[in-house]
Amino acid sequence: MQSKNFMVRPKERINEIQSASYRKERGVRLWQARQQVGMSMNEFSSRIGISNGTYKLMEKGEVDFKCRPLELAAEISGVNREWLFFGVGTMHGNS
């Protein structure tokens, strides 16, 4: 059996990150981050500078994410940014 340890081409990686299933996974991680600080959707969305409606769609994985709100979400909740963005590493680890 051949090793699957190969580098994914950038275009393929972009398509994966923009896929509906990837958005849903990221939405779950966003929900977990919000739960860490015990905030309501309304309070958390306000803190990261987006409307409650947009935030709700982000948690459901129905819209693409902008970087700045996700960066703020990681900062406010204290979770690992790479984990929140990409599912890399652990929620609270550095990698």
Domain presence at residue 64:
yes
7 sits in the region (left: phi over 0; alpha: psi -120 to 50; else beta) called beta
Q: pLDDT tens-digit profile of 44-76?
A: 999 999 999 999 999 999 988 788 999 999 999
Q: pLDDT tens-digit profile of 8-54?
A: 555 565 666 668 888 999 999 999 999 999 999 999 999 999 999 99
Domain presence at residue 63:
yes
CB atoms within 10 A of CB 41: 15
Q: How many domains does the chain have?
A: 1
CATH of the domain at 37: 1.10.260.40
Domain ranges, residue 41: 21-86
Question: CA dist 2 to 5, 6, 61, 77, Å?
Answer: 9, 10, 34, 40
Domain presence at residue 8:
no
